[in-house]
């Protein structure tokens, strides 16, 4: 999970577009990222901190200790979704940074309204960020709930199997019949007692 090969594959997918190089292009890219960086197959972008992604991956693996293939898939989904959730604050900051540069020529007496102006201009992008965050959190919670359910089922099955393996066999019941002086057992390994002398004498008489 989150092996070097997977990380390299994620980065390779993101390299199909090297991104803009001009300031204007980077500004447009910061808004496009609100859509593209939070969905799709490429989890890691070229500018992402790979060691931080690996640290997050190992932390979630150590926390949930997946023991089956399906548990591993769910933990990997938690890793990728968690990484995308971490990207949202950075994207929001990038939008405001771009907006502040655009409104840098505002009169000094109106500088305290720049953030409001940025919000109104990029309201659609900022709202989309909020929607994406809600979607990702819902996905994270759903995967977490499914993972916990699978692990609970697995542990209960393991405990039942261990209990069955250590359980002592139930002894065969013994049937007592005092009228005829015999004890009967359902176990073929037990030797039946002989009839008493008094019973033999009664039968002979």
Can you give the pTM of this predicted structure? 0.62
pLDDT in tens, 143-152: 999 999 999 9
Is 174 within 8 Å of 193 (Cβ atoms)?
A: no
26 backbone dihedrals φ, ψ, rounded to 5°: -65, -35
The angle subtended at Cα 74 by Cα 73 and Cα 75, nearest 5°, is 95
Q: How many residues does the chain have?
A: 205
Domain ranges within the chain, ordered by starting residue: 4-166, 174-204
Of residues 32, 15, 14, the one with CA closest to residue 24: 32
Q: Mean pLDDT over residues 183-198, rounded? A: 53
What dihedral angle (degrees, nearest 10) is formed by the CA atoms of 65, 68, 74, 77?
80
Long-range Cβ pairs for the range 23-30 (8 Å, 24+): 27/98, 27/101, 27/102, 30/91, 30/94, 30/95, 30/98
User: Is residue 4 over pLDDT 60?
Assistant: no
What is each CA distance from 183 to 90, 103, 176, 195, in whole angstroms? Answer: 84, 102, 5, 9
pLDDT in tens, 94-145: 999 998 888 888 777 777 788 888 899 999 999 999 999 999 999 999 999 9
> How sure is the predictor about 10, in pLDDT bands with cuts at 50, 70 and 90?
low
């Amino acid at each position: 999970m989150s092996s070097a090969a997977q990380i390299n594959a994620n980065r390779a997918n993101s390299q199909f577009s090297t991104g803009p190089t001009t300031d204007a292009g980077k500004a447009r890219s910061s808004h496009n990222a609100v859509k593209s960086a939070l969905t799709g197959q490429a989890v890691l972008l070229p500018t992402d901190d790979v060691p931080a992604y690996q640290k997050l991956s190992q932390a979630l693996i150590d926390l949930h200790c997946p023991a089956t293939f399906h548990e591993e898939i769910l933990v990997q989904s938690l890793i990728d979704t968690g990484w995308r959730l971490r990207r949202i604050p950075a994207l929001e900051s990038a939008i405001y940074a771009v907006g502040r540069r655009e409104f840098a020529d505002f009169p000094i007496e109106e500088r305290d309204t720049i953030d409001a102006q940025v919000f109104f201009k990029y309201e659609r992008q900022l709202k989309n960020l909020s929607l994406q965050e809600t979607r990702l959190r819902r996905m994270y919670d759903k995967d977490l709930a499914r993972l916990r359910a699978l692990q609970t089922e697995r542990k209960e099955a393991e405990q039942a199997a261990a209990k069955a393996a250590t359980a002592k066999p139930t002894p065969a019941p013994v049937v007592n019949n005092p009228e005829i002086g015999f004890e009967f057992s359902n176990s073929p390994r037990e030797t039946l007692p002989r009839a008493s002398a008094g019973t033999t004498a009664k039968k002979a008489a």
